């Protein structure tokens, strides 16, 4: 198999998806290494976990008046010497700049707690309850310039129960996120994902780049 992939993990809070992916790396299930954990929030709980596991962390707070473009240019400059193959957005709450997306085109994965294209943006679980859908779930997708619009890698379905409230539904979706996101990262790290237009094909084994269209 090809060399391991170098992963930059972006978080803003609890970091439970980051932890699930890190555990996949530690167990040797993911052919990758988390080379940095980036947070926009100095108090993000996920940073404590990262430090306790000896991972490099970096906090980039968006200063008052600083523009989003400059903010992400600054992060890009800091990632430059890390040879990052994959950026993982694990509950990262800032919208990326166009420059950043272009720099890591087709190499940024995000998880969203709904079955896209339904309920993009914030409070996806509350949106699903308010709409009255019987099934929702989670989606791992590549990031493009839109909000939760990039090509879909994997989805998992979660039924909505009559007695559900936002927190109970969110908990059951989160269980699926912790299964789905490490799997998507694993597939990426094994060069098994092929983006064809809006579709992402999952190959049984590593893709030989010479055979791609």
Active-site residues: which are they?
Answer: 112
Q: Which residue is nearest to ligand GRF (CB)?
A: 91
Measured torsion, CA atoms of residues 106, 200, 155, 37, in degrees rounded to the nearest 10:
-20
The minimum distance between CB 151 and ligand GRF, in angstroms, equals 17
Judged by CB under 6 A, which of 24, 32, 113, 182 binds ligand GRF?
113
Three-state SS at 22: helix
Residue window 161-200: x/- pattern of binding to ligand GRF, with contact defined by CB under 6 A: -------------x--x-----------------------
152 contacts ligand GRF (rule: CB under 6 A): no
C-beta of 89 vs 200, nearer to ligand GRF: 89
User: Segment contacting ligand GRF (CB under 6 A): 71-79, 111-119, 159-167, 194-202?
Assistant: 111-119
Judged by CB under 6 A, which of 9, 13, 50, 86 binds ligand GRF?
13
The minimum distance between CB 202 and ligand GRF, in angstroms, equals 20
The minimum distance between CB 139 and ligand GRF, in angstroms, equals 9
For residues 129 and 169, is the Cβ–Cβ distance under 8 A?
Answer: yes
Contact set for ligand GRF, span 68-107 (CB under 6 A): 90-91
Q: At what angle do helices 166-189 and 16-26 cross, to 10 degrees?
A: 40
Three-state SS at 90: coil
User: In the β-sheet with 135-142, what is the strand arrangement from edge to edge?
Assistant: 57-59, 32-39, 5-11, 86-89, 108-112, 135-142, 152-159, 199-202, 193-196
Cβ burial 118-135 (10 Å sphere, 16+ → b, else e): bbeeeebbebbbeeebee
Residue window 14-33: x/- pattern of binding to ligand GRF, with contact defined by CB under 6 A: xxxx----------------
99 Rama sector, left if φ>0, alpha if ψ -120 to 50, beta otherwise: alpha
Contacts with ligand GRF by CB under 6 A lie at: 11, 13-17, 90-91, 111-113, 174, 177
């Amino acid at each position: 198999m090809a060399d391991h992939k170098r992963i930059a993990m972006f978080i803003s809070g609890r970091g439970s998806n980051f932890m699930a992916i890190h555990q996949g790396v530690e167990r040797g299930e993911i052919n990758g290494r988390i080379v940095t954990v980036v947070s926009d929030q100095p108090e993000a709980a996920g940073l404590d976990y990262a430090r306790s596991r000896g991972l490099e962390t970096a906090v980039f707070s968006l200063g008052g008046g600083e523009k989003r473009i400059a903010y992400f240019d600054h992060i890009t400059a800091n990632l430059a010497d890390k040879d990052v193959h994959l950026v993982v957005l694990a509950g990262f709450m800032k919208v990326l700049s166009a420059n950043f997306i272009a720099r890591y085109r087709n190499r940024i994965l995000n998880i969203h707690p709904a079955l896209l294209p339904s309920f993009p943006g914030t409070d996806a679980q509350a949106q699903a309850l308010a709409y009255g859908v019987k099934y929702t779930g989670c989606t791992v997708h590549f990031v493009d310039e839109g909000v939760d619009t990039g090509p879909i890698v994997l989805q998992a379905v979660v039924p909505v129960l009559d007695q559900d409230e936002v927190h109970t539904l969110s908990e059951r979706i989160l269980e699926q996120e912790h299964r789905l996101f490490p799997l998507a990262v694993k597939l990426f790290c094994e060069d098994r994902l092929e983006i064809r237009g809006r579709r992402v094909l999952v190959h049984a084994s590593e893709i030989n780049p010479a055979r791609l269209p």
